[in-house]
Chain A
Amino acid sequence: MKSTRVIVWASLGLYALALTTTWIIGTHEAERKTRHLLRQSQRLFGDVLGDSIDTTLYYLSAIVMDSLGNTCHPVSEEELNELAEKIHLDEINVVDATGKSVGSNIPSVLGVDFTALPETAEFLETLRGKNLVSQPFRPGAANPEMICRYVGVAFPDRSGFVQLGFNISRYSLSLSSIDPSEFLRWKIGETGHFDIVDLDGDSRPDRADNWTGREVDYQLVLGPNHESFYCREFVHAGLKFKALVSKREFHSQRDQMFWATALGGLLVLGLLIYFFIRLVHSSEKLQAFYKAEDERRGRDLSVARTVQMSALPTATRAYPTKFTISLAAKTIPAREVGGDFYDFYLLGEDHLVVLVADVAGKGIPAALFMMNARSVLRATIQSGGDLASAIQEANRRLCGDNEAQLFVTAWVGIVDLRGGVIEYVNAGHNRPYVRRASGLVEKLSAKCGTFLAMFPEANYVSRSLKLETGDELFLYTDGITEAMNSARQTFGVKRLENVLARPSSDFCETVLRAVEHFSGNEQSDDRTILTLRWNGKPSLSEKEFPCEVAALEDAVSFVRTALGEKGDRRRRSRLLNAVDESLSNIVNYSGASSFKLTVKSTDTRALVKIEDQGRAYDPLKHIDPNVSIPLEERPIGGLGILMVRKLVDYAIYRHVRDTNELSLFQWL
């Protein structure tokens, strides 16, 4: 299933994305923390070593003050030089309470006013109670070439202070004399450490601000046992150091995060897939439910279709006694129930209404509207008055009861069954055709009005049309011309006209078959056709015969001649057989002196009327002999009547004005 695949791939993609993000962010964070730690460690390194110098210098100041008698007084250069040599100092200044140098091993410093410069004035703080004033390495006052660290300590009696200067090169020397393993004991993080890289002092700083070290590099190096380290190189007092911290240590947090995400993600993924499968499973159940529901609806719709179809009159062999016309009509809904319909019904004895209509839309709503439209049209047309007014009234009523806003196109005609004149209204429907007996196909293009059920004030005009013998009216809906084949071509008007131009005994079937052949199994719209053929006046023969056995042969021959070669031979024979039986009955039992035969026929039907003035007798009331009982037990007689009733399509008996009138009708 496609959606399943999409979901699975999307989940895996998200999972991979989450892992990658965790990895990248974790790595970035680890490196940031590592840099921070290494910088901190470097600062700490400097602070710790600086403190140790200060401590050392503090103790040395005690030695100096002790040798001076613990009070401030002028001291000679030589004495101080000697002292400096002894305790490995570079500069010793003795300053009195006013800030004036009263002794120094550097000649130029003697007599200098320490209050004059801010950096020197700071040392006077010692006189106000501060134990130690310490300054970072900076160029010396007397000799800027000499980078010194200075501390000041007050005499115990506050009579002045001593300032001691410590040259950085001396410091470097002392640092380099420390066993490197000393530094290795200083831990960075859990496993990191410091390392001295350069012992030769080549990168001896010449500027004081270089002393605190600069960030030389931040890089990954391979340590012993091929372990990776993050490394920061820095310079301290002219010596190059490295602060190292193991990559494994700093990535452990990231790795933990990564694995937590991976496992959590797997769990989420698993749950996701589990629920998804359940979802798919339940949607399959839902689909099965909908399928069952569809089938149930299908059954309902097929019932609806039966109801709808049975509501339309059957055109095949409708109105057998109306010899002037032959009707055919069929509707094939696109769905189970459709919006197309045809209708026909008699208005009195001599007029026939024919109509074809198409409700916009398909399915149940259109079908319901169709039933309504059909009964409204029936009601208004049957109420009398002229056709245009009836259509106008039907339109008005349909407009008033049309919440679904459907509309219907209709072609309605009233056929005068005596003369072949049709009065019609085309309410926005497809223009029908008249196929003349000559094969000429004419389109009825006259305008009559718009479609029904939309505009209550719409006006309709009726037109008229005259059919001659052999002419045929062809009504249809757009489902015929707009039927589409697989190449999305429509059946179209041209194809329809071509089919109509060729002769056919049943254009309804011929056109429907042509459309079906054209479009294959596809049917997107209802297809409806109604055809009305004008047969013209039927041929009529009448003759009176004496009521005797001898006349029977002539009488049968008379009918045979009247029928000629019309229709099917077998059906003609059946009618002749029935006529013979009926006449034989009359001759034998009626007691009449004569009988009269009237034969009315067209190509498709025949009516034989037998009239006599004998005893009133309805042969059709005679009970059927039981044809299923054994021959030996069967009474002889009654067979003839049975044959009459079974051999013809309709047999009707009337007794009017002392005359027995038996009509035998046969489709030929």
Chain B
Amino acid sequence: MTIKTNMNGDEAQLIVSGCLDTAATVEFNAAVDATEKMVHRFVFDLSDLEFIASSALRTLVALKKRSVAAGGDVRVTAASEAVRDVFDVTGLDTVFGL
């Protein structure tokens, strides 16, 4: 898994590619925590992600709760077909504006 972070003012864009499996969640969490220290507005581009583990989903959900409480937001702007399937079956697609 690779994460590329672009800062646009008070908004961070995270492009996650490869495979966000359970093992990769630790690294993903760390990247998210680091970014959260700077902004409360997140945009995720998951169009090149093979799949996403439920632990990573939990991270996103927790991040969303905190960001919204702090006046920010978390959105997923793009996702691969398989990842979109995961958002669909968990009902999280609308939560993240997918």
Interface residue from A552, A634, A643, A646 paired with B21 (Cβ < 8 Å): A552
- State which of B3-11, B28-36, B37-45, B85-93 sits at the interface with chain A: B85-93
Does A611 lie at the interface of the complex (its beta carbon under 8 Å from any beta carbon of B)? no
Q: Is the CB of A577 within 8 A of B86?
A: yes
B residues near A647, Cβ cutoff 8 Å: 85-86, 89
B residues near A556, Cβ cutoff 8 Å: 19, 21, 23
Does B78 lie at the interface of the complex (its beta carbon under 8 Å from any beta carbon of A)? no
Q: Is the CB of B85 within 8 A of A552?
A: no
Q: Is the CB of B54 within 8 A of A552?
A: no
Measured CA separation A211–B80 after assembly (Å):
136
Tell me, rounded to whole Å, the shortest Cβ–Cβ distance linking B80 to chain A. 7
Measured CA separation A227–B64 after assembly (Å):
125
With A570-B82, A646-B89 as contacts: A553 and B21 at CB distance below 8 Å: yes
Interface residue from B51, B57, B91, B95 paired with A580 (Cβ < 8 Å): B51
A residues near B19, Cβ cutoff 8 Å: 556, 576
Q: Which residues of B in the span 40-74 have a Cβ within 8 Å of any Cβ on A?
A: 50-55, 57-58, 61-62, 64-65
B residues near A576, Cβ cutoff 8 Å: 19, 21, 50-51
With A549-B22, A570-B82, A631-B61 as contacts: A640 and B50 at CB distance below 8 Å: no
Does B15 lie at the interface of the complex (its beta carbon under 8 Å from any beta carbon of A)? no
Interface SS, B side: helix
Q: Is the CB of B23 within 8 A of A549?
A: yes
Q: Is the CB of B50 within 8 A of A573?
A: yes
Measured CA separation A499–B9 after assembly (Å):
62
Does A632 lie at the interface of the complex (its beta carbon under 8 Å from any beta carbon of B)? yes
Does A628 lie at the interface of the complex (its beta carbon under 8 Å from any beta carbon of B)? yes
Q: Is the CB of B61 within 8 A of A636?
A: yes
Q: Which residues of A in the span 440-499 have a Cβ within 8 Å of any Cβ on B?
A: none
Q: Is the CB of B54 within 8 A of A581?
A: yes
Tell me, rounded to whole Å, the shortest Cβ–Cβ distance linking A240 to chain B. 127
Q: Is the CB of A627 within 8 A of B90?
A: yes
Does A639 lie at the interface of the complex (its beta carbon under 8 Å from any beta carbon of B)? yes
Tell me, rounded to whole Å, the shortest Cβ–Cβ distance linking B23 to chain A. 4
Q: Which residues of A in the span 628-664 have a Cβ within 8 Å of any Cβ on B?
A: 628, 631-632, 634, 636-637, 639-640, 642-643, 646-647
With A570-B81, A576-B51 as contacts: A632 and B65 at CB distance below 8 Å: yes
Tell me, rounded to whole Å, the shortest Cβ–Cβ distance linking B95 to chain A. 5
A residues near B51, Cβ cutoff 8 Å: 573-574, 576-577, 580
Interface residue from A577, A627, A634 paired with B52 (Cβ < 8 Å): A577
Measured CA separation A26–B23 after assembly (Å):
120
Q: Is the CB of B53 within 8 A of A553?
A: no
B residues near A94, Cβ cutoff 8 Å: none
Interface residue from A570, A577, A627 paired with B53 (Cβ < 8 Å): A577
Measured CA separation A587–B23 after assembly (Å):
11
Measured CA separation A552–B51 after assembly (Å):
14
With A573-B51, A584-B53 as contacts: A552 and B23 at CB distance below 8 Å: yes
Measured CA separation A193–B3 after assembly (Å):
139
Interface residue from B50, B58, B89 paired with A636 (Cβ < 8 Å): B58
With A549-B22, A631-B65, A632-B65 as contacts: A574 and B82 at CB distance below 8 Å: yes
**29 A-B pairs with C-beta separation under 8 A:** A550-B23, A552-B21, A552-B22, A552-B23, A553-B23, A556-B21, A570-B80, A573-B81, A573-B82, A574-B82, A576-B21, A576-B51, A577-B52, A577-B82, A580-B21, A580-B53, A584-B55, A627-B91, A631-B64, A631-B95, A632-B65, A636-B58, A636-B61, A636-B62, A642-B90, A643-B86, A643-B90, A646-B89, A646-B90
Given A580-B21, A627-B90, 19 additional A-B pairs, CB 8 A: A552-B21, A570-B81, A570-B85, A573-B81, A576-B19, A577-B53, A577-B86, A580-B53, A581-B54, A584-B53, A584-B54, A584-B55, A627-B91, A631-B95, A632-B65, A639-B58, A639-B90, A640-B54, A642-B90
Q: Which residues of A contact B (CB under 8 A)?
A: 549-550, 552-553, 556, 569-570, 573-574, 576-577, 580-581, 583-584, 587, 627-628, 631-632, 634, 636-637, 639-640, 642-643, 646-647
